[in-house]
Amino acid sequence: MKRLRRWLFRIVLALVLVSTLPVIILRWVDPPTSAVILQRTLSEGRPQDYRWVPLARIAPEMALAVVASEDQKFPGHRGFDLQAIRDAAQRNARGGRLRGASTLTQQVARNLFLWQGRSYLRKGLEAWMTVLLELFWPKARILEVYLNIAETGPQTFGVQAGALRFFKQPASDISRQQAALLAAVLPSPVRYRADRPSAYVLERRDHILRQMSQLGGTHYLQGILPPT
């Protein structure tokens, strides 16, 4: 029994080290790819457009737009929005439209390290990687990685690739409206297009713009965004 406990301890320790090491490394090293990009490349048999840019070269309005759209409590939470999780669980239990409650940190954990799909194993690993990201990365790094690996269109990853493809300019130069448009397609970037927005996307854009104003503009991310 004692030998079994030792082996279990070693296995758990090895798993902790294996999962923690890449998080620590990627705190300073920019990811050359992500799990989702690799899966897309393999499944589609074609390269994906992925262009890394530092947070300082992304328009502050773009960062604010994704926070306003995806995770308004991002500056203050520790990886999980418990109220959003409770609300989503109640809505789903009532038979409403299935809707997630993933924070930006959870999305980074899932898209950077894990496979696509729904399973208790993946959700458990996502929660663990979320804890590690919040433990070892500052908010600025989490936001920077999210903006670079988020899928923004077909075979297009990151706001730099999205801005160049849809608006013919780098992410540093996009307008407030363009930032909101790019954020508006994030729930389904293959189905919706920022350059040919449907009525639904335009409605989401206008909602995101209102939320950006209600949050107080880019001042809301003071302490996270690099000084301008």
User: Averaged over 86-112, what is the pLDDT?
Assistant: 76
Beta bridge mates, 151: 157
- Averaged pLDDT score across all residues of the chain: 90
Do residues 143 and 74 touch, judged by C-beta distance below 8 A? yes
pLDDT of residue 3 exceeding 80:
no
Question: 214 lies in which domain range?
Answer: 2-221
Is there a domain that residue 42 lies in?
Answer: yes
Contacts of 52 (CB under 8 A, 6+ apart): 30, 31, 148, 158, 160
* Of 225, 223, 187, 214, residue with least CA distance to 61: 225
Calculate what percentage of the chain has a pLDDT beyond 70.
94
Beta bridge mates, 153: 156
pLDDT of residue 119 exceeding 90:
no
Confidence of residue 95 (pLDDT cuts 50, 70, 90): low
> CA–CA separation, 159 vs 150, rounded Å?
7
Contacts of 136 (CB under 8 A, 6+ apart): 20, 23, 24, 27
Distance of CA 81 to the CA centre of its chain: 14
Note the pLDDT of residue 54: 97
Place of tokens 């950077």: 112
Is there a domain that residue 49 lies in?
Answer: yes
Beta bridge mates, 157: 50, 151
Residues 184-225 have pLDDT tens digits of 999 899 999 999 999 999 999 999 999 999 999 999 999 999
Note the pLDDT of residue 98: 47
pLDDT of residue 150 exceeding 70:
yes
Do residues 38 and 48 touch, judged by C-beta distance below 8 A? no
Give residue 211's identity as a one-letter amino acid code.
Q
Confidence of residue 53 (pLDDT cuts 50, 70, 90): very high
> CA–CA separation, 123 vs 49, rounded Å?
27
| Domain count along the chain | 1
Task: Tell me the CB-side half-sphere exposure of residue 31, using CA atoms within 13 A.
Answer: 28
Is there a domain that residue 124 lies in?
Answer: yes
- Tell whether pTM > 0.85: yes
Is there a domain that residue 228 lies in?
Answer: no
pLDDT of residue 100 exceeding 70:
no
Whole-number Cα distances in Å, 179 to 198, 202, 228 = 16, 12, 18
Residue 155, domain CATH: 1.10.3810.10
Contacts of 125 (CB under 8 A, 6+ apart): 113, 114
Residues 64-91 have pLDDT tens digits of 999 999 999 999 998 888 787 777 666 6
Is there a domain that residue 226 lies in?
Answer: no
* Of 43, 15, 38, 23, residue with least CA distance to 121: 15
SS3 call for 188: coil
Confidence of residue 168 (pLDDT cuts 50, 70, 90): very high
